[in-house]
Structure 1
Amino acid sequence: MGLKSALVLAAAAVIMGAPAAARAAGPCGTTPGLVCSDVVVPLDRSGAVPGTVDLHVESLPPSGQSSGAVFLLAGGPGQGSAHTFDLGDPQSASLFRFLFPGYTLVAYDDRGTGNSGLLNCPALQVSTDPSGQDLLASACASSIGPPASFYGTVDHAADLDAVRASLGLDKIALYGVSYGTKLALAYAATYPTHVARMVLDSVLPTNLPDPFGANVARAMPATLSAFCAQVCRAATPDFAGDVTAVANRLAAKPAHGSVLLASGGSKSDTLSGVGLVSLVVDADLNPGLAAELPAAVHAARLGNLAPLLRLHVLDTVGSEFPAPELSFALYAATDCRDGPFPWPADSAPSARPGLLRSAIAALPPGTFGPFGTWAADLGNASLCDTWPTPSGGVNLSPAAYPNVPVLALSGGFDMRTPTEGAQSVVAQFPQGKLVVVPGVGHSVVTTDPSGCAALAVHDWMLDTSTSRTCSRPPFLVAPIAAFPRAPSRTAGSAATFALATRTITEAEAAWLFGASNTSRSAIPGLTSGSLSPIGNDGFGLAAYGIAKGIKLDGTLKLAERNGVTLKFQGTLTVGGRLAAHGTLQVGASGVHGTLGGRPVP
């Protein structure tokens, strides 16, 4: 309790963005034709709590005749759609004009996000300890005060309709990603006559997220097995089994260790079962992490926790977002208002932890698949159990949705919103279609390197009778092989070459890991040195090692794509007390050079 109490005190400060002055529509950004405006909406539509919110709205008409308007709805909750989709950037605008040919593009920051009265609780925003986040969230809500009750999905849907009306539109198309799909579905249920069609990417049904995260836990083994089929053999024969075994072990006894920092120091780290499962989930948005995890988890199962602890530290740093990009205060305000939860909405916060424990104890065996009941901490119930305002009890699921065309996209490697959720939603729409892209993670359009998902949306917007099937795209970087052991004595040229090539492939994955997190920070090697990004297309290695006794120095630059697979080129120097020293050339055709005075390979 001492740590939690300290965290509560730290969370007492809250910053609420002041409402922007009402602004007439005018040009903005660098994309020609983009218009920005503000739409003022009541904070509380019942009028009981005074106040308004200024919603920042961006609208981009097509170059020719308009076929209608499509509203772009971002995820989270906590991502502002205008901020996320960035129509003011010509390159981003070009993507969405391709997806929705002939449509006016509309994106607005939801209340509490971006430029629409941003909610920012600093301590909650930077928190990485799940065990204290419920008290941080509660303190955040108390600091916000009475307005904290008015950031639920019902409020967001009403705001969406207010923006629609302000633009003089009758029927609109909706494009939602992740939480944006839940908002789109809730809007369709509440305002059915104003919906023309919907594109739902990474579908979150209105009755989710599960309060315990049970749907995520149950689906994970099959998702991991499908992801690793035929491609992870060099790392592990059973990725799903490794994750299950290590996660249950860590739930019983968390691992503690020290991780090398790029600066040369070290950082202590603790990894629990929930921490590991959360790390695995994060891989569905990060292809570099996905390439590293099978080998790291297998090493942990065999007793070597160092690679896994390193990934955990790197992911924790990479998961830090400034509030304008993703407001965790708004995330909590929305999900803690919505539910569903195993307690009455008007229950006293002091009673909820006990109700939560009783509900978990009553869950039938197999609720979490191969994981124990400890996995219940994956869900939002453990975040919201002390939320001080009405919590849960909001029914967002209608008796029937409007009969409109719906295209749903699901990634076969999506662990946040598993495909079964998309299937259940599509089944409720007679004109519904589902496109599953194997091997691709969350937010399908932007994580599918083949572009098939984007083409599926483009074609369907032109003709809803069309249907496209997507094959599994090649990896940007393939899953790495098992982490090598350090040689027991000085390695010969062939053994050094084998270690060096495995270090190179791991470094490529580590670079992609950082790039996918938009991190510009140096990345530590596992045993020595660091990797430093160079621009957006290369990296430098300084004494970089993943096995003791061998280090790489030099620079690799992105040379070309072999299809979608990344290829690098450059010159590396091989050193270290157990290595055959020399130089290697890396190119599209492979790796070759001289080690210990001998040509390799």
Structure 2
Amino acid sequence: MRLRGLIVLTALCAALGAPQGAPAAHALFVPCGPNGLECTTLDVPLDRSSATAGTVSLHVEELPAPGTRRGVLFLVAGGPGQASSGTFQLGTNAIDYRSRFPGYTLVAFDNRGTGRSGVLRCPELQAVPFASPATARPLVAKCATEIGPSRAFYSTRDHVDDIDAVRQALGVDRIALWGTSYGTQLSVAYALTYPSHVERLLLDSVADAQGRDPFALDDLRQMPKGLASLCSGRLCRAATSNFVGEVVKLANRMARRPLAGKVAKPGGGTRTVRASGIDFLSGAVLDSDLNAGLVAELPAAVHAALRGRPRALLRLVQLDRETSITPAEDLSMGLYTATVCDDGPFPWDPETPVAQRAALLAAARNALPRGSTGPFGRWATDLGPAAFCLLWPPQARRPGIGSGPLPNVPVLVFAGERDLRTPASNAAAIAARFPQGHLVTVPGVGHSVLGADFTRCADDAVGTWLSGGIPPSRCPRSPMLVNPIGPFPASFPSSNRRGVRGRTLAAVAKTVREAAASWAFALTGFSTPHSIAGLYGGAIRTSGTTFALKRYSLVPGLQVSGKLRLYRPDTGSTLPARFVGSLRVLGPKAAHGSLSVRPGALVGRLGGRQVRGSV
């Protein structure tokens, strides 16, 4: 879906005819950025049937290949709603991309309705992205009014025809496409509609190429497998012995009785946070396949919530909501809605009046066979787009995606084993549909594999594939940015054979490990929070590979202040991330003092005495 966090992780890892009204070939590009980046604007028809007047101006960026040109590669972002120019940043990342795709001229253009291609704006929906249907439905209806009648021309088929218009304007016969998430759906749709113009496909985190399931049934059935991968190798043993079972139990419980409670605010005070089962599943659970901080904290937070202590989980829910809010230029919720609610399919025809849809939706949901939603109740069908699009206005049926056949071209498909929103089964299915399809599975990685695989196996597989070799079918397990943390403490430790200093040292060690997870949350979130509140107050501020704590409290009665930075050893692995720096320890129950944080150790003075412990 969205890639901001993956770009950050990359930095840490070292022959159908022209549609009516198509532009003339050979667009005029002008310099527009570093490393030889060039840009142009391409006007395409709003409605290719010409029944509705108007054009859309597409912002197109090109990074020419130095030396001998091998071909042209289109970089297709996800969402739908992401702007490819901002997602991929061809000029800024030119060295990396030219190394990964030698000889290819790289093209990224903002799909209609995104970025600098007439971005669609629905401010109220943008402020609560991917909210539960109960919250989103009236905002979806308002969004349709805000966009107006042109909303009928932002379907996947419209985006497919725009890709071909850009291809023609470049004056090339065949193109390669690299799609991620929804970008895979769009790339495969292009291959089905314009098969003779495809040179090869690189598909990362495959969306259902057959079209969206209105109830997300396959996602729900496959979710336990992805969650189990998160905790494989006993990674979560400090927090829980049954992460999958606890997520399922808590989600079904929250569907019957939503959680509510107080969480701390970074500037002081508290706020009340409420979350239903679908809030939990579509937010913190689903986003854990991208956000390294959620991965680290979710097992312990779920375990605590099941035992009557929901504060840590509600804090994660609120953080996930806050960091999911992005400018429309980065991810347009208006475009997301216009595309998803046009594409369907739904339990109603596109022309069905809104007043008749609720009954059709309920009937289709009630007719689902037992087990259709995996271990979750029927309530979980709200994860799919049907409930979200219920109030989208009726519109006339329009041409859909071409029916193929799929081209016999090289196709490389990546699947992250802990991908929850585009399960690995999707990747296996699409690889099998192409005569030259090859699947690479990457353990330890969630959604959006390239850039998140710290072993570089995935990058190497691309190089092997481009040179005509056969990549491995499975990569080594990629290490986590930060490992899952242990249990959230309900109170300051009450016993320890080393007295209050020993209890304080143990509590500080827990705080450092959790603060590292909060740093990872900020680093890999869809947007970067200004600061993150501690579980019991105080705050952490992050800046790249450093973070500062101000009276940060994970454990009641203990407050920690100071600054830590990422430890970079001269040799050996830097993962999971470790930190060095200095801390001051305060709090009514703690032994006060100062500590130095070293790789794996805490050293300093507490309560006037020298102490040493592990972290």
What does residue 504 of structure 1 align with?
Answer: 512
Cα offset for 1:391?
7.9
1:339·1:394 contact (CA, 8 Å) conserved in 2? no
Of 489-498 and 436-445, deviating more is 489-498
Give, in angstroms, the shift of residue 63 of structure 1: 1.3
Q: Per-residue deviation at 1:395?
A: 5.1
In structure 2, what is the equivalent of residue 50 of structure 1?
53
**Cα shift at 1:330:** 0.3
- In 2, the alpha carbon distance for the partners of 1:177 and 1:479 equals 27
Query: CA separation of 1:215/1:587 partners in 2, compared to 1, >3 Å: closer, same or farther?
Result: same
Equivalent residue for 1:525? 534
Superposed, 1:13-412 pairs within 5 Å as 25-89=28-92, 92-127=93-128, 129-130=131-132, 131-229=134-232, 230-278=234-282, 279-390=284-395, 396=401, 398=403, 400-412=405-417
Residue aligning to 2:444 = 439
SS at match of 1:497: helix
Letter in 2 for 1:116: S
Write out per-residue CA displacement over residues 369-413 of structure 1, whole angstroms, 9 at most, x where no aligned residue: 111011011111011111113388975473531111100011111
What one-letter code is carried by the residue in structure 1 that aligns with 2:278? V
Q: CA deviation at 1:559?
A: 2.0
Tell me which amino acid in the other structure corresponds to 1:600. R
Compared CA separation, residues 583 and 391, structure 1 to 2 (3 A)? farther
Stretch of structure 1 that moved more, 589-598 or 55-64: 589-598
Q: Please identify, of 566-575 and 203-212, the stretch whose mean Cα deviation from structure 2 is larger.
A: 203-212
1:571 aligns with 2:605: no
Question: By how many angstroms is 1:302 displaced?
Answer: 1.1
Report the equivalent of 2:11. none
Contact 2:195-2:404 within 8 A present in 1 as well: no
1:237 Cα offset (Å):
0.5
CA distance in 2, matches of 1:28, 1:389: 43
Q: Which amino acid aligns with 2:180?
A: V
1:562-600: per-residue Cα shift (whole Å, max 9, x none)?
Answer: 343222101112221111222221112422223232422
Look up the match of 2:20.
Answer: none
* C-alpha distance after superposition, 1:461-518 (max 9, x if no partner): 1225344641111111110011123136585222221111011000000011012124
Partner SS, residue 206 of structure 2 = coil
Provide the rounded CA distance (Å) in 1 between the counterparts of 2:42 and 2:538.
52
Name the counterpart of 1:3: none
Query: 2:185 and 2:346 mapped to 1: Cα distance?
Result: 17
Q: Is the 8 A contact 1:173 1:196 kept in 2?
A: yes
CA gap of 1:397–1:233, structure 2 versus 1, over 3 A, is: farther
% identical equivalent positions: 45
After superposition, what is the alpha-carbon deviation per residue over 1:517-575, rounded to whole angstroms, capped at 9, x for unaligned? 24141110001211112x31211111111110111111111121634322210111222
Comparing 195-204 and 78-87, the one that deviates more: 78-87
Per-residue CA deviations over 1:213-236 (Å, capped at 9, x if unaligned) read: 222211111211121021000011
Q: 1:59 corresponds to which letter in structure 2?
A: E
CA contact (8 A) 1:336 1:391 kept: no
Matched to 2:551, the amino acid is A
- The answer to whether residue 436 in structure 2 is matched with residue 425 in structure 1 is no
Return the TM-score normalized by structure 2: 0.91
Q: Distance in 1 between matches of 2:471 and 2:303?
A: 43
After TM superposition, the structure 1 stretch with the greater mean CA deviation from structure 2, 24-33 or 444-453, is: 24-33
Pairing of 1:479-490 with structure 2 (within 5 A):
479-487=484-492
The equivalent residue for 1:477 is: 482
Mapped pair 1:600 → 2:601:
no
CA 1:394/1:506 → structure 2, altered by over 3 Å: closer, same or farther?
A: farther
Contact 1:76–1:331, Cα closer than 8 Å, also in 2: yes
Structure 1 residue identity aligned to 2:104: Y
TM-score under structure 1 length normalisation: 0.93
CA gap of 1:418–1:393, structure 2 versus 1, over 3 A, is farther
Distance 1:282 1:70 in 2: 29
Matched, 1:450 2:455: yes
**Counterpart residue number, 2:23:** none
Cα distance in 2 for partners of 1:319, 1:114 equals 17
Structure 2 Cα separation of the partners of residues 220 and 553 of structure 1: 39
Q: What CA distance in whole angstroms lies between the structure 2 residues aligned with 1:559 and 1:32?
A: 31
**How far apart, in 2, do the equivalents of 1:282 and 1:240 lie?**
15
Instruction: Indicate yes or no: 2:593 matched with 1:582.
Output: yes
Change (3 A) 1:360 1:397: farther
CA contact (8 A) 2:81 2:332 kept: yes
Give the Cα–Cα distance (whole angstroms) in 2 for the partners of residues 388 and 291 of structure 1: 41
Using a 3 Å threshold, how does the CA distance of structure 1 residues 468 and 593 change in structure 2: closer, same or farther? Answer: farther
- 8 Å Cα contact 2:230-2:295 kept in structure 1: no
The more displaced of 461-470 and 363-372 is 461-470
Whether the 8 Å CA contact 1:257–1:270 is kept in 2: the answer is yes
Q: CA RMSD in A?
A: 1.8
How many residue pairs end up in the alignment? Answer: 576
CA spacing shift, 1:100–1:392, aligned 2, 3 Å: farther
How far apart in 1 are the matches of 2:600 and 2:273? 39
Amino acid at match of 2:592: H
Inter-partner Cα distance in structure 1 for 2:508 and 2:555: 9
Unaligned runs of 5+ in 1: 1-22
For 1:520 and 1:201, locate their aligned partners in 2 and report how far apart those are by CA, in whole Å: 27
What is the match of residue 561 of structure 2?
A: 553
Classify 1:234/1:329 alpha carbon distance in 2 versus 1 (closer, same or farther; 3 Å): same
Residue of structure 1 equivalent to 2:4: none
